[in-house]
């Protein structure tokens, strides 16, 4: 969907053109009554196509065209005017207008010009020449591409795919060389009360770390959010000893931690691993995430821990890779509300075939009970406390059959509680959106403005509303306008044109068409049928 900004100082023309474009179904429409308002909206929203009148007070359409092409060269501009003047046409085209449409040419000409601009946008996006012309912008995006590639390396990418992706991202990372992972979590400093401050704090932490590490090892980093960083460290040369590189890194981590605390007043939680082959990085990354989530910390803690030591202390002595996988799979199954997967995991753990392995059974009970307690404590603790049988089974092993039944019930109940809570949150949001629409029927009510009010992306708002209600948001707005119009039609003191305006229709003729389409009668016929006098 393309975003179109319509600019016209005449309200009737502005609303009429906007309605025409919006009804075509391919475009999201914003409106502005002046050149200055248009520039302000383009600062806030990405605009693909600008449709502007030429004769406007203040900033004229031609001046607006020049400013838009200077600052947003990618935007297409259609000049729409009532004047069939060759000078206007020539000046517009010379200044970069993509189309010039006379209002007298009718609706089809406007839609045709818009579709032509949309096709040109699609072509430019696919054209490799555009990428070459915007190499400077691509360079600015390179850090984001590099971060994405490194995250893929940590999460799923095989060695062959990674080698090609690394080359594309201009990274000096070598998939053939052993890599050491260091996971850093930023805490402390309560002044970091917004995302921009946290972002700059994270950049400074990365700067301190790279300053101390990059002289002896190749240093790469991937960020998960504004508080979590994974460093990927490799020896600088083929002849460099892995053990000496490990010793150097281990010594530097404490210095980095101390310097960040003294200069930035931030506490770092750091878990470091040993050097490993590429094919083992996925598992090691997952383990570091798991260990960091289980590490008890507050804002002032400066933890610096070897992952092997932490595995032994938090995941219990002798814990195997199979048991670590159990933790991850059980958490993921509950978080993703996959009841079949949850049932399968519990069935596998507490099946009768495992009777001979009592110690393994107790260890698995300990793992699953810890996960359930942790997840219930995140908003559902009262429900767990009130479930006496369930709470007892989490505190002490009750035998295979009972533990199987109780754990399954607790896990499925937890999924239901989370889904009910999520459904409640969505229902409240839909109610708030509907209420906002009902209170603002007299205004333009564009998708972007509604989305902005609720801090949502317009495209996401449209999909979310359709998914939750089964209706397009535009259909709901229309139904509410018709509903309000019917109430006003029952009051004889209001004229038809007044009702149209109060209900949010830009003209009486459009009101009549929309009302007839909905009710099968014109507004006056409906009023007469109700015997309103």
The predicted structure's pLDDT at residue 132: 58
Cα(420)–Cα(379) distance, integer angstroms: 12
DSSP states of 399-417 as a string? -HHHHHHHHHHHHHHHHHH
Q: Do 63 and 79 belong together in one domain?
A: yes
The predicted structure's pLDDT at residue 8: 92
CA distances from 159 to 227, 280, 494 (A): 28, 11, 73
Q: Do 377 and 461 belong together in one domain?
A: no
CATH of the domain at 184: 3.30.70.270
Q: Do 127 and 141 belong together in one domain?
A: no
**Structural tokens at position 449:** 């403005």
Q: Do 456 and 332 belong together in one domain?
A: no
Q: Do 287 and 165 belong together in one domain?
A: yes
Cα(121)–Cα(96) distance, integer angstroms: 15
Q: Is residue 435 part of a domain?
A: no
- Collapsing DSSP states into helix, strand and coil, what is residue 361? helix
- The one-character DSSP state at 101 is E
State which of 132, 159, 192 marks the end of a domain. 132
Q: Do 31 and 152 belong together in one domain?
A: no
The predicted structure's pLDDT at residue 311: 46
Q: Do 92 and 19 belong together in one domain?
A: yes
Find residue 2's DSSP bridge partners.
Answer: 27
Domains: count for the chain: 4
Angle, helices 339-349/358-376, rounded to nearest 10 degrees: 150
Q: Do 126 and 175 belong together in one domain?
A: no
Q: Do 260 and 399 belong together in one domain?
A: no
Q: Does the reported pTM lie above 0.95?
A: no
What lies within 8 Å, CB to CB, of 417 at 6+ separation is 380, 383
Q: Is residue 498 part of a domain?
A: yes
Find residue 32's DSSP bridge partners.
Answer: 7
What lies within 8 Å, CB to CB, of 61 at 6+ separation is 7, 35, 52, 53, 54, 55, 79, 81
The predicted structure's pLDDT at residue 130: 57
- Helices and strands (H and E) in the chain: how many: 24, 10
Which helix (H) or strand (E) segment holds residue 41: the answer is helix 35-44
Query: Which residue has 């060695």 as its token pair?
Result: 159
Residue 372 contacts residue 353 (beta carbons within 8 Å): no
Q: Do 299 and 336 belong together in one domain?
A: no
- Collapsing DSSP states into helix, strand and coil, what is residue 265? coil
Q: Is residue 192 part of a domain?
A: yes
CATH of the domain at 513: 1.10.10.60
Residue 380 contacts residue 417 (beta carbons within 8 Å): yes
Number of Cβ within a 10 Å radius of residue 438: 14
Q: Is residue 434 part of a domain?
A: no
Q: Is residue 368 part of a domain?
A: yes
Please provide the size of the chain in residues: 533
Residue 472 contacts residue 457 (beta carbons within 8 Å): no
∠ CA 210-214-220, nearest 5°, is 65
CA distances from 396 to 393, 402, 516, 527 (A): 5, 12, 70, 73
**Structural tokens at position 250:** 């281990």
Cα(268)–Cα(289) distance, integer angstroms: 15
Q: Do 387 and 455 belong together in one domain?
A: no
The predicted structure's pLDDT at residue 193: 61
Q: Do 482 and 385 belong together in one domain?
A: no
The predicted structure's pLDDT at residue 312: 44
- The one-character DSSP state at 354 is G
Residue 167 contacts residue 233 (beta carbons within 8 Å): no
* Domain ranges, residue 273: 137-314
The predicted structure's pLDDT at residue 49: 93
CATH of the domain at 115: 3.40.50.2300
**Going residue by residue through the chain (533 aa), what tens digit of pLDDT does each one get?**
788 999 999 888 899 899 888 887 778 899 999 999 999 988 888 889 999 998 888 998 889 999 998 888 889 999 888 777 667 777 887 888 888 888 888 888 999 999 999 888 888 777 655 555 555 555 666 777 788 888 888 887 888 888 888 888 888 899 999 999 999 988 765 565 666 677 788 888 999 999 989 888 999 999 887 788 999 999 988 888 888 888 889 888 888 888 888 888 888 888 888 899 998 888 888 778 766 765 544 445 556 665 554 444 444 444 445 556 777 788 888 877 888 888 888 888 776 444 444 455 666 777 788 788 878 877 777 777 777 787 777 766 667 788 888 888 888 988 888 888 777 878 888 888 998 898 888 877 888 888 888 888 888 888 888 888 888 998 999 999 999 999 999 998 899 999 998 888 888 888 999 999 999 999 999 988 888 77
State which of 421, 451, 481 marks the end of a domain. 421
State which of 78, 113, 132 marks the end of a domain. 132
Q: Is residue 504 part of a domain?
A: yes
- The one-character DSSP state at 134 is T
Longest dimension (CA), the chain: 98
């Amino acid at each position: 969907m393309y975003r179109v900004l319509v600019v016209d100082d005449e309200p009737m023309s502005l609303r009429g053109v906007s309605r025409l474009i919006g009804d075509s179904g391919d475009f999201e429409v914003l409106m502005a009554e002046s050149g200055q308002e248009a520039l302000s909206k383009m600062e806030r929203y990405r605009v693909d196509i600008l449709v502007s009148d030429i004769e406007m007070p203040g900033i004229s359409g031609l001046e607006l065209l020049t400013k838009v092409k200077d600052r947003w060269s990618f935007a297409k501009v259609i000049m729409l005017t009532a004047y069939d003047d060759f000078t206007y046409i020539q000046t517009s085209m010379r200044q970069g207008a993509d189309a010039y449409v006379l209002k007298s040419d009718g609706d089809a000409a406007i839609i045709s010009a818009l579709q032509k601009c949309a096709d040109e946008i699609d072509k430019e996006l696919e054209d490799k020449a555009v990428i070459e012309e915007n190499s400077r912008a691509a360079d600015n995006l390179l850090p984001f591409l590099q971060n994405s590639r490194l995250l893929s390396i940590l999460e799923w990418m095989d060695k062959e795919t990674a080698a090609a992706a690394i080359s594309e991202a201009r990274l000096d990372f070598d998939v053939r060389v052993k890599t050491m992972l260091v996971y850093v979590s930023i805490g402390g400093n309560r002044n970091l009360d917004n995302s921009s401050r946290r972002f700059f704090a994270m950049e400074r932490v990365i700067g301190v770390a790279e300053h101390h590490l990059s002289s002896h090892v190749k240093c790469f980093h991937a960020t998960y959010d504004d508080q979590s960083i994974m460093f990927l460290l490799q020896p600088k040369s083929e002849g460099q000893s892995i053990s000496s590189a490990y010793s150097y890194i281990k010594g530097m981590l404490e210095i980095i931690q101390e310097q960040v605390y003294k200069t930035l007043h931030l506490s770092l939680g750091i878990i470091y691993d040993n050097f490993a082959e590429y094919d083992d990085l996925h598992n090691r990354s997952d383990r570091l995430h798991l260990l960091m989530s289980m590490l008890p910390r507050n804002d002032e803690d400066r933890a610096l821990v070897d992952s092997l030591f932490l595995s032994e202390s938090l995941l219990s002595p002798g814990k195997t890779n199979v048991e670590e996988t159990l933790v991850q799979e059980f958490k993921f199954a509950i978080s993703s509300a996959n009841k079949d997967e949850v049932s399968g995991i519990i069935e596998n753990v507490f099946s009768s075939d495992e009777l001979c392995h009592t110690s393994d059974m107790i260890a698995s009970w300990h793992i699953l009970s810890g996960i359930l307690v942790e997840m219930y404590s995140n908003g559902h603790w009262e429900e767990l406390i009130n479930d006496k049988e369930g709470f007892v089974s989490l505190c002490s092993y009750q035998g295979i059959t009972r533990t199987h039944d109780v754990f399954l019930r607790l896990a499925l109940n937890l999924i239901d509680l989370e889904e009910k809570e999520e459904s409640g949150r969505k229902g409240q949001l839909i109610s708030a959106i509907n209420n906002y629409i009902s209170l603002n029927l007299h205004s333009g009510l564009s998708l972007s403005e509604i989305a902005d009010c609720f801090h949502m992306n317009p495209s996401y708002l449209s999909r979310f509303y359709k998914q939750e209600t089964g209706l397009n948001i535009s259909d709901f707005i229309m139904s509410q306008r018709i509903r309000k119009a019917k109430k006003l039609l029952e009051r004889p003191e209001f004229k038809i044109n007044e009702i149209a305006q109060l209900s949010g229709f830009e003209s009486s003729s459009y009101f009549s068409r929309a009302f007839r389409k909905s009710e099968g009668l014109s507004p006056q016929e409906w009023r007469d049928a109700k015997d309103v006098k």
